[in-house]
Amino acid sequence: MEDFKKNWQIQQNWQLVFPALGILILGYCSYRLANLIVGSINLFLVIILSVVLFSLLLKLTLFLFKKLEKKWILKYRWEMIRVFIVFAITGSSSVFIGKPIMAFIGITKENLNTTVYWILYIIVGIIFYQIMLVFFGWLFGQFRFFWDFEKKMLGRFGFKKFLNE
């Protein structure tokens, strides 16, 4: 355990929450993907595929950590897990919040061309993604990182003149 703490630069035991949460989320995503691929017909096959997907996703995640560690300026390595969790929650939330907002506005697949509907759905998702990214970043104690990230992203969308530097 001491090697794990040293590798992830964990100074206090409460910081172990983020690696544990990351492993749980990765396991859940692996299970959901396996269940989506195989279906709920054969539980044994779903479990085997979940384990395989978990190991592949874990290797991919650790590879991304190494690549992004140089690019993202964070004080400790364990904070990268927190950043990944915020991106995961924000992405999922923006997808889930899009449909009710579209319905509230009165836009449905029935009253609009399917292509136009999906374009508007993506635009609404992107707008709420920007808002929720900063909110969840603040909630997880990474406001400064996500605010800087958001300013860079909005600058790429052409809103640089509206941002205070």
Residue type, 79: E
pLDDT of residue 164: 63
Within this chain, do residues 66 and 54 fall inside the same structural domain, yes or no?
yes
Average pLDDT across the chain, whole number: 87
Give the pair of three-digit tokens for residue 122: 């993506």
Dihedral sign from CA coordinates of 31, 54, 14, 66 = negative
Whether the pLDDT of residue 165 is over 60: the answer is no
Q: Model confidence over 76-117: pLDDT tens digits?
A: 888 888 998 999 899 888 888 888 888 888 888 888 788 888
Q: Residue 121 and residue 96: Cα distance in Å, rounded? A: 11
**Residue span of the structural domain in which 163 resides:** 75-165
**158 shares a domain with 126:** yes
> What is the count of structural domains for the chain?
2
Whether residues 85 and 46 fall in one domain? no
Residues 82 and 146 in one domain: yes
81, 96: one domain: yes
**pLDDT class for 58, splitting at 50, 70, 90?**
very high
Label residue 39 left, alpha or beta by phi (over 0 means left) and psi (-120 to 50 means alpha): left
